[in-house]
A and B are shown apart, each in its own frame.
Chain A
Amino acid sequence: MPLRKIPTGTLGEMELKNKMPNTYHTIIGMEVHAELKTATKMFCGCKNDPFFAPQPNIYTCPVCLGMPGGLPVANKKAIEWTIKLGLALGCQVNLFSHFDRKNYFYPDLAKGYQISQYDQPLCFDGKIETSFGDVRIRRIHLEEDTGKLQHTTIDGKKVSLIDFNRGGVPLIEIVTEPDIHSPEQAKEYAKKLRQILRFLNIADCDMEQGGMRLEANLSLSSDPKVLPNYKVELKNINSFRFLEKAIQFEERRHAELLSANQTPVQETRGWNDNKGETFSQRTKEDAEDYRYFPDPDLPPIRFTQLDIEKMRATLPELPSKMISRWQDQYGIEPKNSELLTEDKDKADWAEAIFKLAEKPNEVAKAIVNKKIIVKFSETAAEVIALYQQATQTDSVDETELKTTVETIISENPDAVVQYKAGKTQVLGFFFGQAQRKLGKKVDSQQLRSLFEEALRA
């Protein structure tokens, strides 16, 4: 696969030629976190609904608060959903896996450790296809989310508040191999992943709320086959656009540093959209030591191949398959399918319409391009009726039409003045008048040319 070449920014061409090759190859591996939308939390029976909780700390119990004596019990559904995602991404499933403790201190971490998976993730070795090439999935593991800190001022005093409604919500982490080579590919990968998560109906992926969080490990190399000896982590990115922009910014920054014979500092950086630049959050001198060990509170997870096959059988048809089937079956152009396969509900809704439609691709186009404004609560028959209404026209006698146009123009001198002053919007008013006078639905193109001609006179 051809690698993109990054031009360096500020240094002169001559200078570059003498020092370093003037192009670099971008190497990116991504880590994406997504909260699963199970009814209850990962290790206790508390409600999993952190974004819509009416008050902080109401969906909590001794377990997710990390009270002395609290014990985790794994949410079976969350495990099954993680495996479902793995199967959807063509992963292998570990028939034996377990949870590990990741020990570190942070005020939003109730127990002083996060229950995660270390050496035996539930799924490994999958891939997501992008238009730039395959992105291999290294692993998918299941863990618990942390609480949320809020730094604020109360009675003039600076305080940090902790909300544990989110603490213990099931969180999956999807880690890729360093197979991503451009900001566009990173964005496409992340969007595809979200589409699949939504399609499986296991995660809402609300980016703004943090229901899906993107992380890109990025470095630039002069040799595409060699992983550089440094990497920068772009963290806490909550939109696809920011991801793309942050990577673009970093590519340029790294290229400049490398061209000046400097190695970018190994660190974590965030994205400041107001300034349009990344900023340093934390430098990592040494690799952190999380002192992982198997969580003795949770028995290992065992599956048989039969269990896995049963889960595979429940997988819905995935977007990529559905798009090509729609093309074969209904003649839908893939560019129209993209939007309609955002999630499973939408796709099912769209397919019901295609089944009824005479020209499915035309209807799809009308919906996607918003030629007709439809709601997902509307039935297939209702949508088709809307489509027909919007596109069907009655045949009208040309002379009758011309007369009507002239009558309308003579009856509305004010509107004509407005039109001539450049207010072309009044055409809409004229169209409405014409439809009413004729009591018929007239092709709008035809009306437009007649009015324009008459008004030019």
Chain B
Amino acid sequence: MLNTLTLKQALDKLARNECNLAEIYADTQKQVEATTDLNIYLTMNEGAVTEAQSQAGQPLGGLPVAVKDNFSTKGIRTTASSTVLDTFVPQYDATVTKRIKLAGGVVLGKTNMDAWAHGSSTETSQYGRTLNPRNPEHLPGGSSGGSAAAVAADTCIIAIGSETAGSIRQPSAWCGTVGLKPTYGRVSRYGVVAMASSTDSPGPIGKTVEDTAILLNHIAGQDPYDGTTSPRSVEDFTLALNQDIKGMKIGMIYFDKPELSPLKAIYEKELKVLEELGAHVEFAQARDPRQSIGVYTVVQRAEVSSNLGRYDGIRYGNDRSFFGEEAKRRIMLGTFTLSKGYSDQYYMLAQKVRTLFLQDFARLFEKYDVLVAPTAPGYAKKIGASDGSAMFGELEDMLLEPSSIAGLPGINVPVFRDGKTNLYLGLDIIAPMWQESKMIQVADAFEKNTNWNPWRNGAQK
């Protein structure tokens, strides 16, 4: 089954002529069809196989990439999982989509997500929820749940997601995949349907740390179309692979939170390997992540209320009555917090607390090379769990919101699998701004020295 290959394996096999693209696409297609019940894809790229042939030999080898439906794809419907954009076919490619194509990747299809990326379950999608391929009674997480599920179900070689606060790492944790959220400004947001502009970060979701490092190499870097991308040069992230982590200082954060006590023992046990590899690992005190919920909720809702203002019914076919409940809730809340007389109390205050988180991380990174924490407070929740819970996402993403509002990079790697449910726990490795290489180095070492990666070490799927 060639669809189960990692990106690296597929590239190597193609280079050695051990298989061809047609075979890979045939197997992938079979798997896509076999998993339609999971509701992973919203739209398939009919021309994928043809495009792939012309991309053979390029760095990404013409291999199929699943792309979250909030990335603008020229000629392929892009809805952000909202029926407001039900018939919207963009005339341009997002920079990430363009760079993937330029590197020889092929957009296989557009993956389901929480509508407008509002949520952490895919349950706010107006095209129905996606099911977790590891256990279909459970949710894949979100908002990039479709992309994480696409990888977990081997319906693509690698995928693209976007994270505002947890939307790459949390679904990766729940689906047992690797999800890399780059530093804010490392990867262009141009062409990504805006959610919370000040934290949106596109990034890869893949089968291994190595795969995400390879894809990040192709999508990172300054973009003249996005003024918030950094002009700093981009290193080769694959150079951080297979490196010794001896002497690295690693701080374990959030383990003092009572919510995490049921998981504490598991993480402590699994993280021992880092010490065995020579790193210095210790508990560290970080600012209470619960405070970030308020910051994130206020800032994100405010930006959402402004970003969705353009869908006024004039130009995209469907009018405002097509917005779902969650979008409406967020627009209302954001409009309120930006209103005269309230913005000081909410928006401006939130920005001040955001600065406190920046300072707290700066303090921690004076002492540690990277920080590690559980990605989510637990395993994937059952389907329907988000119903009636307006703050579902914020609670599930609580441990990811501090690093997101601080713009820091983070990567999720599988850290444990429950044998009974087949569900995964994730480890979040956070690095200072622009130091993705450090977290890739630690994540790669962890992955290669444990048995939890389903593709690399033959753990049960």
Contact = CB atoms under 8 A, between A and B. Distances in A.
B388 interface: no
A103 B191 contact: no
Interface stretch (A231-239, A290-298, A389-397): A290-298
B210 interface: no
B225 interface: yes
Contacts of B224: 73
A296 B338 CA distance: 14
B339 A71 contact: no
A101 B347 CA distance: 14
A74 interface: yes
Interface stretch (A1-9, A19-27, A107-115, A343-351): A107-115
Interface in B40-94: 70-72, 78, 80, 85, 88, 90-92, 94
Contact of A68 (B193, B335, B340): B193
Given A71-B227, A73-B225, A293 B309 contact: no
Interface in B189-223: 189-194, 196-198
Nearest to B190: A71
Nearest to B343: A293
Interface string B225-243: 1111000000000000000
A103 B338 contact: yes
A397 B226 CA distance: 81
Contacts of A72: 227
B262 to A, nearest CB: 37
A105 interface: yes
Interface in A61-112: 62-63, 66-74, 101, 103, 105, 107, 110-112
Interface in A330-355: none
B197 A296 contact: yes
B302 A67 contact: no
Contacts of A296: 196-198, 228, 303
A110 B71 CA distance: 20
A69 B223 CA distance: 14
A74 B227 contact: yes
B192 A69 contact: yes
A158 to B, nearest CB: 16
A299 B347 contact: no
Nearest to A104: B309
A414 interface: no
B310 interface: yes
B92 A67 contact: yes
Contacts of B90: 62, 67-69
Interface string A262-302: 00000000000000000000000001010111011111000
Nearest to A102: B306
Contact of A293 (B78, B80, B338): B338
A68 B80 contact: yes
Tell me whether chain A's interface is mostly helix, strand or loop, or mixed.
Answer: loop
B306 A112 contact: yes
A113 B305 CA distance: 11
B137 interface: no
Contacts of B306: 101, 103, 112-113, 291, 293
Contacts of B94: 69
Contacts of B72: 62, 67-69
B127 to A, nearest CB: 17
Contacts of A105: 309, 312
Contacts of A297: 194, 197, 227-228
A74 B227 CA distance: 8
B309 A69 contact: no
A70 B227 CA distance: 12
B308 to A, nearest CB: 8
A296 B335 CA distance: 16
A62 B88 contact: no
Contact of B343 (A73, A287, A291): A291
A172 B96 CA distance: 34
Contact of A299 (B70, B71, B227, B312): B227
Given A296-B303, A298-B227, A299-B227, A69 B190 contact: yes
Given A69-B72, A71-B225, A111-B309, A291 B339 contact: yes
B109 to A, nearest CB: 18
Contacts of B308: 112
B321 to A, nearest CB: 15
Given A291-B339, A299-B227, A112 B309 contact: yes
Contacts of A298: 227-228
B314 A107 contact: yes
B165 to A, nearest CB: 14
A73 B91 CA distance: 20
A289 B310 CA distance: 18
Contacts of B197: 295-297
Nearest to A111: B310
Interface centre among A62, A68, A110 (most CB of B within 10 A): A68
Interface in B3-45: none
Interface centre among B80, B226, B227 (most CB of A within 10 A): B227
Nearest to A286: B340
Interface in A106-141: 107, 110-113
A101 B306 CA distance: 8
A68 B307 CA distance: 9
B347 A293 contact: yes
B331 to A, nearest CB: 11
Interface string B96-132: 0000000000000000000000000000000000000
Interface in A417-448: none
Contact of A73 (B191, B198, B226): B226
A72 B227 CA distance: 7
A105 B308 CA distance: 11
A225 B312 CA distance: 46
A298 B78 CA distance: 25
B338 A68 contact: no
Contact of A62 (B91, B303, B309): B91
Interface in B272-299: none
A214 to B, nearest CB: 27
A291 B192 contact: no
Contacts of B78: 68
Interface in A5-34: none
A196 to B, nearest CB: 30
Contacts of B226: 71, 73
A97 to B, nearest CB: 15
Given A293-B306, A299-B227, A69 B338 contact: no
B85 A68 contact: yes
A72 B189 CA distance: 11
Contacts of A68: 72, 78, 80, 85, 88, 90, 193-194, 310
B347 A62 contact: no
Interface string A40-75: 000000000000000000000011001111111110
Contacts of B85: 68
A96 B82 CA distance: 39
B99 to A, nearest CB: 14
A367 to B, nearest CB: 47
Interface string B160-200: 00000000000000000000000000000111111011100
Interface string B310-353: 11101000000000000000000001001110010001000000
Given A291-B305, A293-B302, 10 more contacts: A62-B191, A66-B310, A67-B90, A68-B88, A68-B193, A69-B94, A70-B190, A107-B314, A113-B306, A295-B197
24 contacts: A62-B90, A63-B225, A67-B72, A67-B91, A68-B72, A68-B78, A68-B88, A69-B94, A69-B192, A71-B189, A101-B306, A113-B309, A287-B340, A291-B305, A291-B335, A291-B338, A292-B343, A296-B196, A296-B197, A296-B198, A296-B303, A297-B194, A298-B227, A299-B228
Q: Top 9 nearest A-B pairs by Cβ distance?
A: A112-B309, A296-B198, A291-B338, A69-B191, A296-B197, A73-B227, A68-B193, A69-B72, A112-B310
Interface of B: 70-72, 78, 80, 85, 88, 90-92, 94, 189-194, 196-198, 224-228, 302-303, 305-306, 308-312, 314, 335, 338-340, 343, 347
